Amino acid sequence: MTVALKKPHKSARKPKGDGHLRRGEILAAAERIFIAEGYAGATIRKIADAVGVSSTALYMHFRDKDQILLEIGDDAIGQLLAVNVDIAHRPIDAVERVRLMLEAYMKFALDNPNTYQLVFCGSRDVISKEKQAATAELGDRCFAEFSGPIHEIAAAGRLRTGSGESAAQVLWAACHGLVALLITMPDRNWAPREELMKVTLDGLLHGLVTD
Amino acid sequence: MTVALKKPHKSARKPKGDGHLRRGEILAAAERIFIAEGYAGATIRKIADAVGVSSTALYMHFRDKDQILLEIGDDAIGQLLAVNVDIAHRPIDAVERVRLMLEAYMKFALDNPNTYQLVFCGSRDVISKEKQAATAELGDRCFAEFSGPIHEIAAAGRLRTGSGESAAQVLWAACHGLVALLITMPDRNWAPREELMKVTLDGLLHGLVTD
DNA sequence: ATGTCACACTAAACGGGAATCACCCAAACG
DNA sequence: CGTTTGGGTGATTCCCGTTTAGTGTGACAT
């Protein structure tokens, strides 16, 4: 057809993404918007607009909105896992490794509040369970890395109370609670964050572990 | 009144609610649905249907959906506050009062997971800040009641580290974290709940308070 | 060159959410 | 009676995620 000669491309269409390039663009735009505006703010249409593509196009590359955001969450947990693995290999006391991991965890949460909420506060309302398979698996590995040094402590008979497993869960939960509250209620009269983190870690580690 | 003798008016309309009776009906229906199906499940239309009234009618009695649910949340916090006040007046050691309050808090959360999430995990996405005035105030009083015995402990010089305020915040956060995780990730391999709660309380209290 | 095939993409629509609009009806009051 | 008024309503608006049906284009076989 002569059409191509008359007008180069009257369509405002984006050129085809070579390979799976488009998928990456979508993820990048989605992450940017999600980080800035949270779950509800990151709508399919907004993401599509940012990429310069129709909203329908997102469904070529992702099953649904949750899959996009969960993939972002997976990335984030992946980073966390890497940090934990790194700390796990350091030749320092197990208690110190535990402390470093928890500090990194809380720092991550406070630096990425929306992503943290998505992954760790995702109510059953918002994201259905089946979709979280990959995320949950990464989370498990993250927790396993964290449990390592704690089981060392337990094996050394340094645990004052409870099993290694419950100690690990309790430590995680305490840190989760702190950052979750700081994130969801930022306007309360909180003591300085560093002090809260320190009191949490010092208090619990001193309470759970004999030296 | 002859009204009652006349025909019951073929209109499918509900008879006028005397006083603000209708408002209570709406709250009751909303609470039932919300407890069973969570925030997203409790839609305006569903609540209206349950009451037997058009969805528009809800806006006669409430500014918007969030006001309905927040009122339910306020009720719940009110109960929590009452429990805390009761415990606060018991003639027992301050540490024991703290422990009882936190146990009651966690029991409340686990017994009312949806309500707990609404009030204490409500992301900024879901419920805008301004609307939470009453809820926040009740929460403050609840926390103040909880802080009382902790400041007693601090004043007695029994605090191992940090201020009374930070100790109170950390204790609250740790318990919040535990129940929040139990609620949002019920399928993980948790240690028994009683053990987790015990380890959290024993650990932190032992770590923070000298005896 | 030419058919035709597959794919990346689109516009339009659907169903369902919250919220609003313009009305309406019956009771109460004078 | 007429008027007011407060508790209602159905239709509508706007936005959401998602689906459907169709389209332009590049690649490849002929």
Tell me the pLDDT tens digit for each residue of B128-174: 777 788 898 999 999 999 999 999 999 999 999 999 999 999 999 99
pLDDT of residue B26: 97
- CA–CA dist B191, B195 (Å, integer): 7
Which among A204, A205, A209 is the top mutation candidate for probing chain B, defined by the most B β-carbons within 10 Å of its own β-carbon?
A: A204
pLDDT of residue B128: 73
Min Cα distance A18 → chain B (Å) is 36
CA B124 to chain CA centroid, nearest Å: 17
**Alpha-carbon dihedral sign for residues B67, B72, B76, B81:** positive
pLDDT of residue B198: 98
pLDDT of residue B16: 59
Q: B25-79: per-residue pLDDT in tens?
A: 999 999 999 999 999 999 999 999 999 999 999 999 999 999 999 999 999 999 9
- CA–CA dist B87, B108 (Å, integer): 15
Query: Is the confidence at residue B2, as pLDDT, over 50?
Result: no
Confidence bin at B20 (pLDDT 50/70/90): confident
Token output for A205: 């580690």
pLDDT of residue A124: 66
Q: Average pLDDT of A155-173?
A: 97
Taking CA A42 as the corner, what is the angle to CA A40 and CA A48, rounded to the nearest 5 degrees?
145
Token output for B86: 């009761």
**In contact, A196 and A178? CB cutoff 8 Å:** yes
Query: Is the confidence at residue A24, as pLDDT, over 70?
Result: yes
pLDDT of residue B12: 54
pLDDT of residue A19: 57
Q: Average pLDDT of B168-191?
A: 97
Which among B142, B159, B178, B200 is the top mutation candidate for probing chain A, defined by the most A β-carbons within 10 Å of its own β-carbon?
A: B200
Q: A175-195: per-residue pLDDT in tens?
A: 999 999 999 999 999 999 999
pLDDT of residue A14: 64
3 state SS of A18: coil
Whether B124 contacts chain A with CB within 8 A:
yes
> Half-sphere exposure (CA, 13 Å, Cβ side) for B71?
15
Q: Which residue has the tokens 């993939």?
A: A71
Q: A11-21: per-residue pLDDT in tens?
A: 456 666 555 78
Token output for A118: 């998505």
pLDDT of residue B19: 58
pLDDT of residue B193: 98
pLDDT of residue B1: 38
Whether B78 contacts chain A with CB within 8 A:
no
Confidence bin at B122 (pLDDT 50/70/90): confident
Q: Do B162 and A39 touch (CB under 8 A)?
A: no
Query: Is the confidence at residue A96, as pLDDT, over 80?
Result: yes
Q: What's the CA–C1' distance between B110 and C7, in Å?
A: 51
Chain B residues with CB-CB distance to A122 below 8 A: 184
One-letter amino acid identity for B98? V
Query: Is the confidence at residue B14, as pLDDT, over 90?
Result: no
With distances taken from each CA to the C1' atom of nucleotide D26, the closest residue turns out to be: A16
Mean pLDDT, chain B, rounded, equals 91
Min Cα distance A92 → chain B (Å) is 23
With distances taken from each CA to the C1' atom of nucleotide C2, the closest residue turns out to be: A1
CA dihedral of B106, B108, B110, B114, whole degrees rounded to 10: -130
The end-to-end CA distance of chain B, in Å, is 72
